[in-house]
A and B are shown apart, each in its own frame.
Chain A
Amino acid sequence: MTEPDVSARDTTTPSSDQRSSWRPGDRKKQRIDALAEAGALSSDEGISLWQSAWRRLRRDPVFLVGLSIVSVFVLVAIISPWLAPHDPSARLLIDQVTPATPIPPAQEGFPLGGDNAGRDMLSRLLVGSRQTLIVGVLATLGGLAGGMILGTIAGGIGGWADSAVMRVVDVMLSIPSLLMAFSIAALFARPSQWTVILAIAIIQVPIFARLLRGSMISQRHSDHVLAARALGVRPAAIVFRHMLPNSLGPVIVQGTLVLAVSIIDAAALSFLGLGNPDDSVPEWGQMLGKAQTFFNSYPHVAVYPALCIIVVALGFTLMGESLREALDPKSRR
């Protein structure tokens, strides 16, 4: 039990009692639903679910590696303006940028060289962490807010509201999500950082909605909700004070995973020219997307931001996956 158990990471195969209700083609949905149920269950060990999860997590090297990466990333994002040796938007090396040598090489004071506008690569990477974090967090929060509204309506009210909301959510889940992000981003004549965030947030809405609804439905008949109802607590208060807080576990797991995906998707949008054209404030996805012209002659211009994205996305994924496992009662046996 204490050993780093990277195994039941994908609890996608249903246990035998669920199998009869298992629908094919619903794997994406089913994965979400399994997570929703996992977080809503309470522990029988006399300690809270979070306490028991933490006991497992603090000995889990996978989680600790993820947590360290994420902590360093957030710390750098906060203090980067003081860490960066130069102003990230100052064209300090512009006199070295010529048609023959568009990328200034590494040199004294510029350990990673410059970009095609003569700006310091290291400073842009350091300061870029901030904007990358903002894009990831805002896109995730946006998706969460939308999903919370839809999920609360569906799971809290139930009945016709539930069927109506879930029909729409299921159709949204049936469209390839990255393709949907591309289409939404293309709706704006002038793309900006905000359109990128919006496009990525929208594709996360159905996932969070289904997650919250599932979690609320599985709580509807649990003891604490029955007790609150028996005490005459208003339905709205039951939903917001008793059901919603208990759904936070799966939401946090999903949010961590979505953060990683958001950062990668932002890079894909930039790569297709649907990202923020204004690069005065650096962002890793944008730096990577714009580096495509130089890849075959100066690959390092793309490799640096790509490595940053990969490491940070991996950090969030490792954290999210070990959290998922720690919260899943099935993997606790």
Chain B
Amino acid sequence: MLRFIVRRMLQAVLALFVLSILLFAWLRSLPGGVVSAMLGERGTPESAAALRAQLGLDEPLPVQYWRFLQRAVQGDFGISNGVYRGQPALDVFTQRFPATVELAVFAIVLALALAIPLGYLAATRRGGPFDTGSVIFSLVGVAVPVFFLAYVLKYIFAVRMGILPPSGRQSVGINATHITNFYVLDGIITREWDAAWDAFKHLILPGIALASIPFAVIFRITRAAVIDVMDEDYVRTARAKGLRRQTIRARHVMRNALIPVVTIVGLQVGALLAGAVLTEKVFAFTGIGQALALGFELRDYPVLQVLILMAALIYIIVNLVVDIAYAVIDPRVRH
């Protein structure tokens, strides 16, 4: 077990290392070079020279890479020149991170709550109309661009029907105290129930749009896994023993079929981060996804740099944790 964890962590470190080189190469190939990219349009020849010296651009590449690493470890990614003009780029991440976590957790819970029962039902009715219908539904879900789905939801439920808020994280009139910056959680901690409820309502539409990505994947994995497990000898034995349907479902089928689902949830974090860029833009939801969208629009490279690095870091760490958790659940993978 320990060997597995160590080996898996070494892999993560290697991935991080290659990633840092890719990010460094990305920064160096930005249009107009890194100095004009970081200064934006405000750059004067003097400030460009100062930044050039500060970044050590006259030094050899390995030295520059080392400096880049040092600054990254210290959290120094430069000053935002668009999203939060004049503030450290890292602040954009720290201030907006809770919003995206809140949204992503809501989306993944929603996707799991719908996809697992549907996947089970489809698998047990394999080949029937319900099965065919839900498989096609999941394929349509893949074919719909996420941001289009977001706009459609916003148009129907916010613009036309007006039952859910069209944008933002909380209504303007709400007087809420923010402790953790997880708005729903803040409302619960401070017992400001109206604030919590209002923040939750702002999560629903972007959450549904974002959930469409993991939903299709989780549904298909669950369905395939349930089909596989139902063919296993131990399920036949359980059935032959005359166990009740519910018992077989809970103890034999689902327990084994959910193992692959655990892994896929980890991998979906990456798709969720990319999907959040599109969804948060549609709903002006002030998370890191919207900051990324704004960063691409305004070419705010310091902010893009820190957000891309953090997104990849989160993805690597989540998958590391999932893999270790997985090895604990299923001893077969340790070898």
A272 to B292, CA, bound (A): 10
CB within 8 Å of B: which of A282-333? 288, 292, 295-296, 299, 302, 306, 309-311, 313-314, 317-318, 321
B273 pairs with A176, CB closer than 8 A: yes
- In the complex, chain B residues whose CB is within 8 Å of the CB of A182: 274, 277, 292, 296
B297 pairs with A176, CB closer than 8 A: no
Q: How large is the interface on A (under 10, 10 to 19, 20 to 34, 35 or more residues)?
A: 35 or more
- In the complex, chain B residues whose CB is within 8 Å of the CB of A7: 126-127, 131, 223, 227
A260 to B315, CA, bound (A): 25
- In the complex, chain A residues whose CB is within 8 Å of the CB of B332: 19-20, 22
Given contacts A177-B274, A182-B277, whether A12 and B221 have CB atoms under 8 Å apart is yes
A315 CB → nearest B CB, Å: 9
Q: CB of A179 within 8 A of chain B? A: yes
B296 pairs with A295, CB closer than 8 A: no
Q: CB of B97 within 8 A of chain A? A: no
Q: CB of A10 within 8 A of chain B? A: yes
Given contacts A12-B221, A171-B18, A178-B274, whether A274 and B145 have CB atoms under 8 Å apart is no
A9 pairs with B260, CB closer than 8 A: no
A276 CB → nearest B CB, Å: 15
Partner of A317, one of B142, B282, B315, B335: B142
A8 pairs with B315, CB closer than 8 A: no
Given contacts A6-B132, A171-B18, whether A179 and B270 have CB atoms under 8 Å apart is yes
B260 pairs with A189, CB closer than 8 A: no
A302 pairs with B148, CB closer than 8 A: yes
A27 to B220, CA, bound (A): 13
Q: CB of A264 within 8 A of chain B? A: yes
Q: CB of A233 within 8 A of chain B? A: no
A333 CB → nearest B CB, Å: 10
Q: CB of B140 within 8 A of chain A? A: yes
A268 pairs with B145, CB closer than 8 A: yes
B127 pairs with A25, CB closer than 8 A: no
Residue of A with least CB distance to B295: A186
A183 to B19, CA, bound (A): 13
A321 pairs with B145, CB closer than 8 A: no
Q: List 29 A-B contacts (CB under 8 A).
A: A3-B127, A4-B127, A6-B131, A7-B127, A7-B223, A13-B260, A25-B8, A25-B322, A25-B326, A27-B260, A27-B263, A176-B271, A176-B315, A177-B270, A179-B312, A182-B292, A186-B30, A188-B31, A264-B145, A267-B148, A268-B147, A273-B296, A296-B155, A299-B151, A309-B148, A310-B143, A310-B145, A314-B143, A317-B143
Beyond A5-B127, A179-B273, 16 additional pairs, beta carbon < 8 A: A7-B126, A8-B227, A20-B332, A25-B326, A28-B267, A171-B14, A174-B15, A174-B316, A182-B274, A183-B26, A187-B29, A260-B143, A299-B151, A302-B148, A313-B142, A314-B140
Residues of B participating in the A interface, judged by any CB pair closer than 8 Å:
8, 14-15, 18-19, 22, 26, 29-32, 126-127, 131-132, 135-136, 139-140, 142-148, 151-152, 154-155, 159, 220-221, 223-225, 227-229, 260, 263-264, 266-267, 270-271, 273-275, 277-278, 281-282, 292-293, 296-297, 299, 304, 308, 311-312, 315-316, 319, 322-323, 326-327, 330, 332-333, 335
